[in-house]
Chains A and B, each alone.
Chain A
Amino acid sequence: MNFFRKIFSFGAVALLTMLLAGCQSSNDTSKGQLIVGLECNYAPFNWTETSASDTNVPIDGKSNQFADGYDIQISKKICDYMDYDLVIKKLDWDSLIPSLESGEINAIIAGMTDTPEREQSIDFTNEYYRSELVLIVDSKNGTDNVLDATTLKTYLNGKAVESQVSTVTDSVIDIFAADYGAIHSKAVDSFPSAANDVSTGIVFAMTAELPVAKSLCASYTNLSIVHIDQAILGETASELGVSIGIKKGDTVLKTNINAALANIKQSERNDMMTTAVEQASSEHQLSDIDKINYLLSHYFQTFFNGLVSTLLLAIIGSVVGLILGIFLALGKNLKFSKDDNLFKKTIKGLCVGLCTVYSVVLRGTPMMVQALIFKFGAQAMGINFGTILTGVPIFDGWLVAGLIVITLNTAAYMGEDIRTGLNGLDAGQQEAALSLGMSKFKSFTLVVLPQCIRNTLPTLANEYIINIKDSSVLNVISVTELFLSVSIATSMNYFIIQGYVIIACIYLILTLIATLIFKEITMKLDGKKHNFSLFTRTASLFKNHGRSKY
């Protein structure tokens, strides 16, 4: 009960707290625990596995997910040295720094490079690895020579080069564009996507650090690595070292970690990296069908959990959203009467105002943004969704957060649908009910609401179908639904396209089933007997398929 009260009271002030997020009290770790944040999707530095092994570490708040990679091995060594317990948190690349600032994690060990921009918000330790910057190109354009300034100019002139967004490897392309005639393509969201672009010829080359390049080339056999003279990079070369990010001013932790790092020799680091690259690229070269089979057989549980989460989000989000939407519609529809006293008028005015603001704000902002505000707002208020529901199989606390976000969002849309339905209904229906002696409540629940729901059913069904698909944006707050399950399943093997094809099919099946069910319900309610075949009905589904709402 207390928990729910917390959540709801939070909802009202989420926006406000976001504004104050910068100055909330720091939530330092309990003694002896190092909470490390990373993406778990950046092999060979870090990736996700679905079963425990000798080398990997369970991910905090996620059941059946384990992290492994160079970063994990380094983290373990640091914790051993400092005699701390290691806790691994899986976070989006973009939310790593905010999470560190908010105290959710103590350290970022995620292959992050120390840059002046990042130093504005966080501190960095010494480097824990320095890698070589290389180009990845289609093998037919490959060369064994190490390219120097002259040869690089001819090699890259007029060619498109890309990399992952907001990484050093992307800013290096600026040097290639300025001095060597290359074209800087718009950065993509991940290294595997960039590799895919190179592999399909969309761009000529991509930049990557050697360890990443090695594991990418192991997955994409038609790609090969081209070494370049690191002197070309000038000062940027220093940015190829990766360091551990810690909270600004946390000098004790910084000293301790630096001492721990000093204890790990360069040769030891190289060995660890080689092992990581080998581990990450252990999947063999398979055909597309085999890759799909591989994903389905090795990661069936991952996809299944994602499917269950997506269904839960869509069903609970739609049903609870509908109930909240009814109240919202009633609140927005309140009418002032002449007999009301000032108190009644004030209450009604407040109610109408609040409901209107709610529906305008929630329908006027993307659900993705709402989810992020909700997440960081909750953290600022000291509610950490990662820790609730620990010990529950399949589900984690983030699913609860996702459910709240999707429910509140759907309520705004359902509210509008119901309001349209209510306004469209003949006022005589309620008058007749009242004239027979029914109370306002009974006349609403027995006569008005059933007709309103029946009339708006096609729109409500559409909202449900939209929810099945749009729940995918909740991956930004680490809700392990269907969309995110692809990142988990492909973080080690890079079978990206195959993964997305699998979930595209699942989404399609889910929406088709939903549409069929709603058609059937509508016919039942109308009392129509259908004598045409299932095939014609299935075909007719495609006529009004759900549109995305963001």
Chain B
Amino acid sequence: MENNIKKPILQVKHIAKSFGENQVLKDISLDVYKGDVITIIGPSGSGKSTFIRCINRMTHPTDGAVYYNGRRIDNSASKLFYREKLRYKAALHLCKTSKEAVDEENKHNELKNAIKKDTKDVNINLVRAKIGMVFQSFNLFNNMDVLKNCTIAQRKVLKRTKEEAEKIAINNLTKVGMSDRINSKVRDLSGGQKQRVAIARTLCMDPDVILFDEPTSALDPEMVNEVLDVIQKLAKEGMTMIIVTHEMNFAKKVSNKALFMEKGYVVESGDSNQVFNHPKEKRTKEFLSSSTKK
């Protein structure tokens, strides 16, 4: 109940996403509060990655809204204006008296202003800087060394000085245990090391939330733990995170909320202990038992 008093950092409202005929997300909502660690589990192709990519607009949702600190950040102003125009035209046809038409016009203008206010002044680049993202395939910049990977965005986006940026970068690289490799080339690192640098790179932007898109799926089994340990450390420090993962034991341990998705729907969501240990839905039970068996 306490959480309801606080305002959520991120609010996802009824988003849907289609690629042509293929609808991969169907009406998904999620509230993220400060300090939440939310894991998203589910079989491959259930839309987990697409969902978190909609949060920082790496993918444009077809429908629904995403709010960051109360401001709408999905790029849908033109779409909303268009829909409102259609609604207004249809409503005008139904008007019988001129008074009704005037009312309808006032309503139309009000709604337009509301949309304008809702979608105003959002610089997606600055929002993205505050919503960090860690990718399955690391995506470190191959043309830069480890330190430059961590400083470039600080300097070019946050306009920090070189000294400041390097200090912050070294702090964060120390946190992920990579401070001895600051001058290494990206290609000389192992997968686990690359992913830890990628996490440090995101941390340098002082994000409010970090999105993890299957951070360990591209790693050799023995490198998985070094990355999971770092994520767990962040969780303990109170970092807000949304993690798409197939590591069930890790998910159970680290998260306070969990979401089970299948075929674009949220099958079950809620408290992590409840989802993992006492699932209500039959499909969740099946999935959890099959993935813990192996």
Contact = CB atoms under 8 A, between A and B. Distances in A.
B58 A436 contact: no
A456 to B, nearest CB: 13
A25 interface: no
B205 interface: yes
Contacts of B5: none
A439 interface: yes
B56 interface: yes
Given A436-B129, A437-B125, 10 more contacts: A428-B137, A431-B135, A432-B141, A432-B198, A433-B153, A434-B128, A435-B133, A438-B157, A442-B156, A451-B141
Nearest to B18: A338
27 contacts: A339-B78, A339-B79, A426-B137, A428-B135, A428-B139, A429-B139, A429-B142, A432-B135, A432-B139, A432-B140, A432-B141, A432-B198, A434-B58, A435-B58, A435-B135, A436-B202, A437-B127, A437-B128, A437-B129, A437-B130, A437-B205, A438-B153, A442-B156, A442-B157, A451-B141, A451-B143, A527-B185
B152 interface: yes
B55 to A, nearest CB: 11
A435 B78 contact: no
Interface of B: 56, 58, 60, 78-79, 125-130, 132-133, 135, 137, 139-143, 152-153, 156-158, 185, 198, 201-202, 205
A447 B158 CA distance: 17
B64 to A, nearest CB: 15
A454 interface: yes
Contacts of B58: 431, 434-435
A131 to B, nearest CB: 69
A426 B135 CA distance: 13
A429 B135 CA distance: 10
A541 interface: no
Interface in A427-485: 428-429, 431-439, 442, 446-447, 450-451, 454
Contact of B142 (A436, A437, A451): A451
B139 A437 contact: no
A451 B157 CA distance: 20
Given A339-B78, A446-B156, A437 B126 contact: yes
Question: Which of B125, B130, B201 counts the most chain A CB atoms within 10 A?
Answer: B125
Contact of A439 (B125, B133, B141, B158): B125
Interface string A403-444: 000000000000000000000001011011111111100100
Contacts of A432: 133, 135, 139-141, 198
Contacts of B153: 433, 436-438
Nearest to B127: A437
Contacts of A435: 56, 58, 128, 132-133, 135, 202
A454 B129 contact: no
Nearest to A442: B156
Contacts of A426: 137, 139
A431 B56 CA distance: 11
Interface of A: 339, 426, 428-429, 431-439, 442, 446-447, 450-451, 454, 527
Contacts of B157: 436-438, 442
Question: Which of B60, B135, B142, B205 counts the most chain A CB atoms within 10 A?
Answer: B142
A118 B85 CA distance: 72
Contacts of A451: 141-143
A339 B129 CA distance: 24
B206 to A, nearest CB: 11
A432 B79 CA distance: 27
A435 B202 CA distance: 9
Nearest to B131: A435
What 7 pairs between A and B have smallest CB-CB spacing? A437-B129, A432-B139, A436-B153, A428-B139, A435-B133, A437-B157, A437-B128
A438 B144 CA distance: 16
Nearest to A432: B139
B132 A429 contact: no
Nearest to A437: B129
A450 B152 CA distance: 14
B243 to A, nearest CB: 15
Nearest to A425: B142
B54 to A, nearest CB: 13
Nearest to B141: A447
Contacts of A434: 58, 125, 128
Question: Which of B128, B130, B158 counts the most chain A CB atoms within 10 A?
Answer: B128
B156 A438 contact: yes
A440 to B, nearest CB: 9
A527 B58 CA distance: 33
A527 B184 CA distance: 11
A436 B128 contact: yes
